[in-house]
Amino acid sequence: MARWSKLLRRANTARLATHLLALWKLVRHRDTPRAAKLVALLVLAYALSPIDLIPDFIPVLGLLDDVILLPLGIALAVKLTPRHLWLARVAEAEQGAEKLPRLMWGAVIVVIVWLLVIGLVAYGLFALMRLD
């Protein structure tokens, strides 16, 4: 239960902005492990993309994806990063007034995921039709 409360605390929006800025600094830092950079890039692409994976107008699910996916992604990136490196990036993010960039390639990734899902559903439907 402590893990859930810790993750829910990370969903606090003011803190979320700081963590996203810290992730951006983490991605640009040379000592960051590759796995942590990859996870941080994916989280940033999703968070800063103008398109959501699950649109917000879908009741409950549209809002839950931001409340669940972002904190889980941040938690994974933090877990893959050496503690001293993460704490230093958070301190930098809290001190600086730097602004996060808009990642248009994040929107491209979301569109590709949607196209893959639609393609798999269409393939499954055609396969079912051929069985009849």
What pLDDT, in 10s, does the model give residues 79-125? 999 999 999 999 988 887 667 666 666 677 777 887 888 899 888 88
94 Cβ partners below 8 Å, 6+ apart?
18
Report the pLDDT value the prediction gives residue 97, as an integer from 0 to 100. Answer: 66
Q: Does the structure show a pLDDT above 70 at 129?
A: yes
pLDDT of the residue at 87: 92
Chain position carrying tokens 């990136």: 77
* 8 A C-beta contact, residue 106 and residue 46: yes
The predicted pLDDT at position 113 comes to 80
More confident position, 51 or 24: 24
Q: In 28-55, which positions are buried (b, 16+ CB within 10 angstroms) versus exposed (e)? A: ebeebeeebbebbbebbbbbbbeebbbe
Q: Which residue has the higher pLDDT, 76 or 65?
A: 76
pLDDT band at 8 (very low <50, low <70, confident <90, very high): low
Q: What would the mean pLDDT of 39-44 be, rounded to a whole number? A: 88
User: For residue 82, what pLDDT is reported?
Assistant: 94
